[in-house]
Each structure stands twice: as C-alpha cells, then as structure tokens.
Amino acid sequence: MSNSDIELMAHLFRRAGFGSNRQILEEYCEKGYEAVVEELLNPEKQPEFDDDLIWRYAPYFRMGTGAPGYQSYWMYRMISTPRQLEEKLTLFWHHVFATSHSKLNRNPQILKQLTMLRENCLGNFRDILMEVSKDPAMIFWLDNCDNHKGAPNENFGRELLELFSMGVGKDNEFNYSEDDVKSAARAFSGWTMAPQLPRYPYGDYNWEFEYREDDHDDDEKTFLGETGNFNGQDIIDIIIKQPATARFISRHLYNFFVADEPQVPSWQTTPPQDIQAIEALEKAYFESGYDIRAMLRVLFNSEFFKEARFQRVKCPAEFVAGVMRLVEDYMEPKPNVHEIAYAATYMGQDLLNPPTVEGWHTGHEWIDSGALVERINFASSQVGDTSKPGVKKIVDRLKALGAEASDGEIVDNTLELVGPLQVTEARKLDLIRYLEHYRNTYGEEGDFNEKIAGLLQLVVASREYQFA
C-alpha cells in the first residue's frame, strides 16, 4: 500500500466519520477505497451500536439534562459507533433541522428525533422531510401545534422553505414568495401532537404525531405555481421537484463533507465556490429520485472530494470525537463521559441545543480565541497521556524506528501516525527544534514516552490539526 492510499483513506474517515487510527486505516486500505465507500454507505451491513450496554452502564443519562444526560450518550455514540457515516449524518441533519432543548425542555423527545434522523439519514429526501414534518419535537419547536384552520401560524411553513429545503433564493433570484409561505402554513394546519399528559407524576414522556382533519384548512391553495386543495405532503411533493431544493441540499452536503462554504443566509447572492461539484450533486439528486445515498456516492468518489483535504474547520463535536478515537479512549462505557461532552460545549457546540433554528455557523466561525484555547487544552490533555491505548500504540511504533532515527524522521512519522497530517515546513522545523531542545535538556537518556507525549501535544495544538 502506498502512502497516498493511506492519506486518501484518512481523508475519507475524517469527513465520512470522526477519524480512525493508523492500524484501522491500513486495514481499510487493503479493501480498496471504493469498497470502503460502499461499506460506509450501507451501515445496515455493519455491526449495530450497542444501546443496551450504555443504558445499563449509565442509566442516569436518561434522567439528566444537557451534558450529564443525552449529550453524553450521543458523544459516546460518536466516539464508539462502528457505523461512522450514519452517526456523522445524524450530526449533519441535526444541524440542518436544528431543534433545541432550550425550548422543548424534553431531552427524550430530542433523542427520539435523533433516532428518526439516524434511521432516515441515507434515504430519500422526500421521506426525510415528511418525517421531520411529523416529528413532535419539530412541531413544538416551530409552533405548528398552534397552526389552526382559520388561524394559521407561519413559523414551520416559513422555515420549511427557508432553512430546511430551498433557501430564500439562488442566483440572485427569490425561490418563493410570502404567499407561498402562507399557503404552506395553511397546508400544514392540523399537523399537531396528541394531547399532552401532565409532566407530574409521570415524568418525561414521548409526544406523538396527530393529524386533526377537522383542524385542517382544506380550501384551495396556490403554492410555487401549482393550485389545489393541498395538504402537507402535497407541499413536500412540490418542494422536492424544485431546482432550488437540489441546489440547497447539494450546498449543505458540500459544506459539511467537502469544504467550508459561506453561511446559508448568503446563498441567494453568493454562488457556490465549486459550481461543477454542486451541479454533479444536483444531477445525482434528480437522477436518483432525491436519494441522499446516491448523492453521497457521487460525492465521496469524486475528484473534488478527494482533492479537498484540510479545507474544513472541524466542528467541536467532530474535533472531540476525533481526538478520542485517536487516543482510543471511551470506546467502551466508563465514568466521566459527560466531561467529554462538555468539552464540545466549551468549544461552542452545545449538542441538542443549537443557538437558533438556523443551527450553528460553520467554518472559521468555530474559531475564536476562547474556543481555540479550549480545543488545544482538550487535545493536548488527551494525547499527553501515554497510558491511553492509542497514544501507547503511537509511542511503540516510533520506538520501533530505533535509536538511529533522526529528529526529522521522528517528526515525519508522528505526523503520519496522527493523520497523516500535512503541515508547513516552518511548523515541521518547530517540531524538530522541540526534539532538539528536549535532548539538550535531558540528554539521550531522557524519557522517550515523555518526549513523544510533548511532541504529540505540539502537533494537536497546531493550526493544521483544526482542519479536516
């Protein structure tokens, strides 16, 4: 296997998952890139995540709020799941269909929504929109439970168009009008939740979708140029046919898996940075009948994906889960996983609690002085612990180079084992100078484990390590 094979496989797992260690990457390289892509795209053929294990080990997760509860559970899934793309897409859809605990105050309901997104993450976009529209957490979050015949609430209808499917506009044109928003709202009247039980003495409970025909506006509506007695599913059927919808979901997939794009509100006036890539995804969208799996197959096998290395800033959840996969910690349940979940929150991504219905802003907006310090401190604390299995493996492989290995060889191999990670020549010289300084301070008899731990800490503190 060539080094280029390893680099490409590492790139795939940084984007389609949360990263992998050198040993696993080498095993995957034996299978071949396209075969691994198909394996990722078919998670149902991979071992299931052991839900029972984590709930038995930490039943208090179900009772907690925020990080001590379901955040911890989800972070553990990201770290340990054998179905990396499935979990990565769940994070993707959570960003697109942002729903927040801050209003719901129902962690079990958000967990149920995440389960729905996970089960549909690679399916048909029509089905995804239908499930989201029937999801009680979304209904409550965007007030469709207050959308009645004769008294429409436009919140869900507006966000369905603006943030979930089409966007305000493309190519300097508007994709829909205010009348379209009003018609969508009327079409979704009667889509609500079953009557709520009192919270006490029953505790948390799952809401259920309910369609109330007597509360549905069945009068004629005009939506995106079509007229009829539309219901919610009719609105979705019209939406998914629109070129704007293909453009919208293609840009979202490109931003999440390929390279940082401008934020959603600017998409009307800011063209895609790679229009040919977007057009290829749009083509896959229509030719496959709106299938997300087909779009991702085109994306992962494309040259524009393979060449786009280290062009995305890792979001905090990716960063934390990736570090933990590198050091191979929390691969099984253990105490204090909530501290790992808290780390992503401190870096600016409060899982299950996005700041607005727009989700989180991505790219360089993840990085400010405070967030960067949190990233560096977290990663350094993890890789600096040579008792962690993944760190020990790196140290052992570097020891195998022998005493004759030069500082440059040690640095090159360390970068290979951590990534492979591409750094500037100036950065590489800084790492070599560290090894020289360590030797000058402690001599040739200095502790090798300690020396490599310090080197790893400098690597994960680098600018380059912040990118996927």
Q: What is the pLDDT of residues 227-267, one digit of tens each?
A: 999 999 999 999 999 999 999 999 999 999 999 999 999 99
For residue 194, pLDDT over 60 is answered with yes
Alpha-carbon span 313 to 367, nearest angstrom: 8
Q: Which residue is it, tokens 């096998």?
A: 301
Query: pLDDT-derived band of residue 52, with 50, 70 and 90 as boundaries?
Result: confident
**Lowest mean pLDDT: which of 119-123, 132-136, 231-235, 341-345?**
341-345
**Lowest mean pLDDT: which of 28-37, 206-215, 442-451?**
442-451
Per residue in 372-422, pLDDT tens? 999 999 999 999 999 999 999 999 999 999 989 999 999 999 999 999 999
Report the chain's mean pLDDT, rounded to a whole number.
93
Maximum Cα–Cα distance for the chain, whole Å?
85
Report CA-CA distances (Å) from 107 to 59, 255, 454: 14, 28, 40
Residue 186: how many other CB atoms lie within 10 Å:
26
pLDDT of residue 63: 56
Q: What is the pTM of this model?
A: 0.95
pLDDT of residue 289: 98
For residue 67, pLDDT over 60 is answered with no
User: Both tokens of residue 285?
Assistant: 């969208």
Alpha-carbon span 290 to 107, nearest angstrom: 31
Highest average pLDDT, of 51-60, 289-298, 359-368, comes from 289-298
User: Which contiguous run of DSSP H or E holds residue 227?
Assistant: strand 226-228
The mean pLDDT value for 86-102 works out to 95
User: Which contiguous run of DSSP H or E holds residue 39?
Assistant: helix 33-41
